Amino acid sequence: MNISELARILRISPQELKNLLPEFGFSVGKKAIKVDNNTAKKIIRDWPRLRREWENKKIDEEKQKAIEDLPKEKKIIEVPKSVSVRDYADLAGIPINRVLTELMKNGVFASINEKIDFDTAMIVGENLNLEVKEADNTLDEDDKEEKKLENILSKEEEGNLEERPPVIVVMGHVDHGKTRLLDTIRSTDVIGGEAGGITQHIGAYQINRKNNKLTFIDTPGHEAFTAMRSRGAKVADIAILVVAADDGVKQQTVEAFQIIKAANIPYLVAINKIDKEAADVNRVKQELSTELNIIPEDWGGKTICSNISALEKEGIEEMLDMILLLSETESGSLHANPNTKAAGTVIESNVDKAVGPLATILVQNGTLRVGDQLCFNGVIYGKVKSLKNYNGEEITEAGPSMPAKVLGLKIAPSIGDILTVGDGEKVKANKIKSRNNRNSAMYNTSSEEVADSDISKFNIIIKADFLGSAEAIEESLMKLNNEKVKVKILSKGLGYITEGDVKRAEDSEAQILGFNVKTPPAVETQIREKQITVKTFSVIYDLIKYAKEQMQLLIKPEINRIDLGSLKVLAIFRTENDNQIVGGKVVDGVARNNSFVEVIRDDNFIALGKITQLQSAKQDVKEVEKGVECGIKFEGKPVIEEGDILKFYQEEKIIGKL
């Protein structure tokens, strides 16, 4: 009998069976594909006992292994406020899988690159023979990153420093005109350009203003800014808080302002859409004062408020002058050393199907050049093959405050990652590690991540109107995770659904779930072309319900055997190469057409096949009951003999519930 056939009867994998046979005292070669029928019979007969022994042994081994993996004596480890599973395992000196299992037991379905907080680390540690202490003064990874850039800048000698353009970010509530303002400032129709595919969006651009350069971060919404801030990178020197004159202070205005305040950078308020009939600048100022404690200059406060119409290009010149003023008076020294190796921050990152990973770097110190080696977190990601500026033109170098699109990366970095330039040593494949992309795409999965590949995953990208809702959604989704299916959030961000989101969704076969966000028409075209599933919701409950339905579809069914009955073979009517027609009497239960058939002789399994035709009184029937004679067509190896017992069963797919 074929080993695979025997394995199927025993309901274990052929490989497991092969491994087991010697343990049970049956010697078979490693490459054997058959066992003799006597051996097979014996194994089938003894299987209930053998299985028990085997399972007990397995449990013992696992228990033993689980203990061996752990430190012999309680080990004290110090972990930061948050730590990736990988780093935790490294610190503890315990295999990652062991840590993952323990996390799962505690309802945490983390992947190796995901971070766990200190409390989780401590609870899990108890069962891993660890005493987990919070590391004193230990910088969280992200803080280290921030310090890296600060260190680079602080080590520069004053004599080497030169002035650099200010970097400006535009923030505010959706629809208040951020895109239009950036567009007007650039004096290029960004919205029209997007549809026509002329304007290059690389995440930032520069303009010249009275012999000064100004760099604008060109990603409307708070997403990029928040992402960069939360990774500890400081990119913007000045913020413009846009508030529509006809709409006033809204939820995202408040949130944008909190972000600006936390970043501790100078800002001005652009009161936009003053061309509109419903515009009421005074009302906006009133709301700014009462809700945000922003007192406009002309009301005796400190905050510059520029009345503008991004649409009619009104007040823009004056506003830009105010920005220059702010950069001179408030930003302090905006300096960098252009004559050194580049350091900067990733402000956009995606994977292009044709050219591979692409990232926009805002250079913050030094000069980035073609040929430079790109390192993030001390890991080599590739070499600059080409650099493009915000006009899509090839350039050979990018100096301080200049954004440049970089080609030549082996993997996509995350938004907010700090770039440093290496000294050119060769890229070693094993040095390119998978990293946690907290706010951006997760493009690369390392082989270790395959560990939980048995669990189906619902890959999603979340876009929401404000941080609170994104977090509430994430929290609710995480509660749906179980051992059969898991939600994998590849990125979560605020604001419009962007081209980057669509690319990311395409690369990782993810769906985009939006909450109170819009999709610009140009992006909508892409979504259609790439056939990405994008769903937007205005009620969190509906979003969660949809996610639940999708997860339900991903649950792999379990196969359950249902025994139907048996028949005693009384006559063989016809035997062909791959089928037999036999007659017999149902001795137990029923015989049912299209069911599986086990051929049993003297209590021993002989072969497996299927009934493809069932006749009673010369009529095709679906089922025949106990005591009735019938004829069946058996598809399978034609081994049936008179006197054999045919056992019928069906397999039922059981779809687990969430």
Residue 242 CB, nearest approach to ligand GDP (Å):
6
**Closer by beta carbon to ligand GDP, 272 or else 498:** 272
**Closer by beta carbon to ligand GDP, 314 or else 588:** 314
Q: What angle do CA 71, 76, 77 make, to 5 degrees?
A: 100
**Closer by beta carbon to ligand GDP, 320 or else 343:** 320
Q: Are 636 and 579 in contact (CB under 8 A)?
A: yes
Residue 391 CB, nearest approach to ligand GDP (Å):
21
Strands (E) located in 531-622? 534-537, 558-575, 579-592, 596-601, 604-616, 619-620
Distance CA 139, CA 144 (A): 6
Residue 175 within binding range of ligand GDP, rule CB under 6 A:
yes
> How many residues of this chain bind ligand GDP (CB under 6 A)?
16
Residue 180 within binding range of ligand GDP, rule CB under 6 A:
yes
Element (H, E) at 23: helix 14-23
| Among residues 165, 166, 203, 220, the one that binds ligand GDP under rule CB under 6 A | 220
Query: What residues between 66 and 105 interact with ligand GDP by CB under 6 A?
Result: none
For the window 131-170, what string marks contact with ligand GDP as x by the rule CB under 6 A? ----------------------------------------
Residue 258 CB, nearest approach to ligand GDP (Å):
17
**Closer by beta carbon to ligand GDP, 124 or else 271:** 271
**Closer by beta carbon to ligand GDP, 256 or else 487:** 256
Element (H, E) at 321: helix 316-329
Residue 222 within binding range of ligand GDP, rule CB under 6 A:
no
Residue 173 CB, nearest approach to ligand GDP (Å):
7
| Among residues 18, 41, 115, 178, the one that binds ligand GDP under rule CB under 6 A | 178
Query: Which of these, 520, 524, 465, 474, lies nearest to 495 by C-alpha position?
Result: 465
Residue 437 CB, nearest approach to ligand GDP (Å):
25
Q: Are 526 and 505 in contact (CB under 8 A)?
A: no
Write the DSSP string, 207-252.
EEETTEEEEEE---SSHHHHHHHHTT----SEEEEEEETTT-S-HH
Region class of 129: left (phi > 0), else alpha (psi between -120 and 50), else beta: left
Query: Which of these, 420, 435, 400, 476, lies nearest to 164 by C-alpha position?
Result: 400
**CA dist 349 to 334, 501, 505, Å?**
26, 10, 13
SS (H, E, C) 431-444: HCCCCCCCCCCCCC
For the window 235-254, what string marks contact with ligand GDP as x by the rule CB under 6 A? --------------------
Scan for tokens 């009462």, then name that residue.
290
Distance CA 379, CA 390 (A): 27
Binding piece for ligand GDP, criterion CB under 6 A, among 74-82, 112-120, 173-181, 421-429: 173-181
Residue 179 CB, nearest approach to ligand GDP (Å):
3
Residue 336 CB, nearest approach to ligand GDP (Å):
30
**Closer by beta carbon to ligand GDP, 98 or else 178:** 178
**Closer by beta carbon to ligand GDP, 272 or else 593:** 272
Q: Would you give the DSSP letter of residue 519?
A: -
**Closer by beta carbon to ligand GDP, 18 or else 273:** 273
Residue 312 CB, nearest approach to ligand GDP (Å):
6
Binding piece for ligand GDP, criterion CB under 6 A, among 67-75, 177-185, 507-515, 625-633: 177-185
**Closer by beta carbon to ligand GDP, 179 or else 580:** 179
**Closer by beta carbon to ligand GDP, 183 or else 506:** 183
Residue 274 CB, nearest approach to ligand GDP (Å):
7
Distance CA 203, CA 359 (A): 9
**Closer by beta carbon to ligand GDP, 217 or else 406:** 217
Residue 219 within binding range of ligand GDP, rule CB under 6 A:
no
Residue 275 CB, nearest approach to ligand GDP (Å):
5
Q: Computed from CA positions of residues 384, 390, 394, 397, in that sequence, does the dihedral angle turn out positive or negative?
A: negative
Query: Which of these, 201, 187, 206, 171, lies nearest to 523 by C-alpha position?
Result: 201
For the window 255-294, what string marks contact with ligand GDP as x by the rule CB under 6 A? -----------------xx-xx------------------
Distance CA 263, CA 233 (A): 10
Distance CA 538, CA 534 (A): 14
**Closer by beta carbon to ligand GDP, 242 or else 398:** 242
For the window 113-132, what string marks contact with ligand GDP as x by the rule CB under 6 A? --------------------
Burial group, residue 11, by CB count within 10 angstroms (0-12, 13-18, 19+)? exposed
Binding piece for ligand GDP, criterion CB under 6 A, among 57-65, 171-179, 431-439, 542-550: 171-179
Residue 179 within binding range of ligand GDP, rule CB under 6 A:
yes
Write the DSSP string, 435-494.
---SSS------GGGGGGTTSEEEEEEEEESSHHHHHHHHHHHHTT--SSEEEEEEEEEE
Residue 415 CB, nearest approach to ligand GDP (Å):
18
Query: What residues between 9 and 48 interact with ligand GDP by CB under 6 A?
Result: none
| Among residues 83, 108, 174, 304, the one that binds ligand GDP under rule CB under 6 A | 174
Q: Which two tokens stand for residue 191?
A: 């919205």
Query: What residues between 290 and 319 interact with ligand GDP by CB under 6 A?
Result: 309-311
Residue nearest to ligand GDP (CB): 177
Residue 272 CB, nearest approach to ligand GDP (Å):
5
Element (H, E) at 124: helix 118-126
Burial group, residue 557, by CB count within 10 angstroms (0-12, 13-18, 19+)? exposed
Binding piece for ligand GDP, criterion CB under 6 A, among 176-184, 205-213, 322-330, 636-644: 176-184
> Number of helices (H) and strands (E), helices first, in the chain?
17, 33
Name the residues that contact ligand GDP, by CB under 6 A.
172, 174-180, 220, 272-273, 275-276, 309-311
